[in-house]
A and B are shown apart, each in its own frame.
Chain A
């Protein structure tokens, strides 16, 4: 397809590799470059897939951006490195899809608010956290029916799917996710809890979403809204499942979810990581669709 937007993946680790595998199947995105800071297994995997690689960091690839018509960059490195990547690539007219916790740009949860960002031409969108991607659609599914005073999410993830970066700064998860439950989910107040479980075989990501609504819950409308939203998420994460609920208990509305990954590079139980890469790719694809339909103009280039 001629309209595919050309993309760059920064960070050839687990997330970057999984994203690359998904992007290679995309009808809208064509991954051209993978950038790392040294020769690594991840760089080797990219080379084996026939993708161009650069091992001298972001500076090594800047000269190729315009010539290769790169329009989208996925950052799968760290919050610390992201600011530098974002500035250098934005200057060249590349839109950043940020999978780190840096959150320089606005939060994006595709089925909830992506349309707003493409309308605003956000040059940098942040994918929140794995827990946020899994749960905010459910908070929104309730808040679009009636006002939510308080949204609380509990994300339980398998120990093996939690990397050293998250472990060193677990507060970043709780803070960022709580903020996005309110800001994107539409609850007046947000709270997030993460539990790491070491069971073997590893458990599939589980998420519980509690909303406290202001008035008596409109049960039929909420049930319909939740089911519709589950279908929206399933478009890019087929293993996103409503296990139980919505359960109504006074003004509490609770949904119980399970997120199984596709098992591309990351194992299937790591639905928490899969939903990040899938949401990142989905974001880029929706931008590409907007461009193809002339509803969105890419930054001008000479």
Chain B
């Protein structure tokens, strides 16, 4: 594989996807320290939002330690070169949240829908464009449809005004061949000026390999997370990806030692549990289940005496999609009742 000279824009998820792994309890001080460390390491884009996007504060997904507004107010003014992005899921957040994020100085808005439901994003993508933001269409659980169907959804988001389209492997299920097929299909059919991104999860330990496949097939924005802090077995570990990209001669503009230090000195000590491939996060990747279900399944499993793995496999079989965290307790109750 030849990635020599390829320009790659890395995008850190530790302060958004990482919120899942921290039950949305990252402190303002931790968030500012990590963001500043990443800024100094040359990270061009850093996402700061509730794990489930703007307006995600809820019983269903968890109430955060601080509001999105408070986190953004603390982080944005401290950035020397990095831009701050926010995630927004239509059906959870509203247009008011997008206005708030723009007012707080977020420069990138990522509008996320399930991979078959792009047409609920028109209003929100339109507002991102109207506000002059870098506007990204983020198609989640991309493994659930083939590349032709995926392209149709990407074209919808592009037609609404998104200047970048993501293939999002929310379950960490995809293997490199599938990434290549999806990204190259997008690259052939989307406008030349539309950027393409890939967001991986490390549930099958394919985060780095999949990201390389994505870059080779035409993606130029790659999500990852410093020390892998993210849902499931975490996101693509950014310091590892950086080291690999540097060996391959790709250009990401990151200071490798600095990002290694952010991972080791700041992020690892924040972790409530090791972010690694264990039998439950491996099940996410193997069964194709939304990564942020992991901790909910572990908790419900303990409370109702049902193995988390059984819950996750059944959630996969039922075709649950991102956002259906409420079905985990519901299923645990049902499975627990049928056992007794």
Point out the residues of chain B lying under 8 angstroms from A99, CB to CB: none
A143, CB-defined interface residue at 8 Å:
no
A254: which of B114, B321, B322, B329 is its contact (CB, 8 Å)? B329
* A156 adjacent to chain B (CB < 8 Å): yes
- How far is A11 from B52 in the complex, measured between Cα atoms in Å? 37
Complex Cα spacing A244 to B95, Å: 33
Which one of B95, B144, B324 has the greatest number of beta carbons of chain A within 10 Å?
Answer: B324
A164 to chain B: which residues have CB within 8 Å?
119
* Contact with A198, one of B117, B323, B330 (Cβ below 8 angstroms): B117
A191-206 residues with Cβ-Cβ distance < 8 A to B are: 191, 193-200, 203, 206
Q: Is the CB of A171 within 8 A of B95?
A: yes
- From the candidates A154, A171, A243, name the one contacting B90 in the complex (CB within 8 A): A171
Q: Is B131 among interface residues, defined by CB-CB distance under 8 A? A: no
A210 to B183, CA, bound (A): 40
Considering only residues 100-131 of chain B, those with a C-beta below 8 Å from chain A are 114, 116-117, 119-120, 122-123
B333 within 8 A of A: yes
Candidates B119, B144, B324, B333; contact of A156 at CB < 8 Å: B324
Task: Count chain A residues whose beta carbon lies closer than 8 angstroms to a beta carbon of B.
Answer: 36
Number of interface residues of B (CB under 8 A): 29
**Interface flag for B58 (CB, 8 Å):** yes
Q: Are B60 and A152 in contact (CB under 8 A)?
A: yes
Q: Which residues of B contact A195 (CB under 8 A)?
A: 91, 321-324
In the complex, what distance in Å separates the CA atom of A215 from the CA atom of B318? 36
Q: Does A169 contact B (CB under 8 A)?
A: yes
Q: How far is the CB of B81 from chain A (nearest CB, A)?
A: 34
State whether B116 touches A159 (Cβ < 8 A): yes
Do B123 and A159 touch (CB < 8 A)?
no
* Docked-complex contact B327 and A156, CB < 8 angstroms: yes
Is there an interface contact between A194 and B117, defined as CB atoms closer than 8 Å?
no
Known: A152-B59, A196-B117, A212-B59. 12 other contacts (CB 8 A): A159-B117, A170-B91, A171-B94, A174-B94, A191-B58, A195-B323, A196-B91, A196-B114, A198-B319, A208-B326, A247-B333, A252-B59
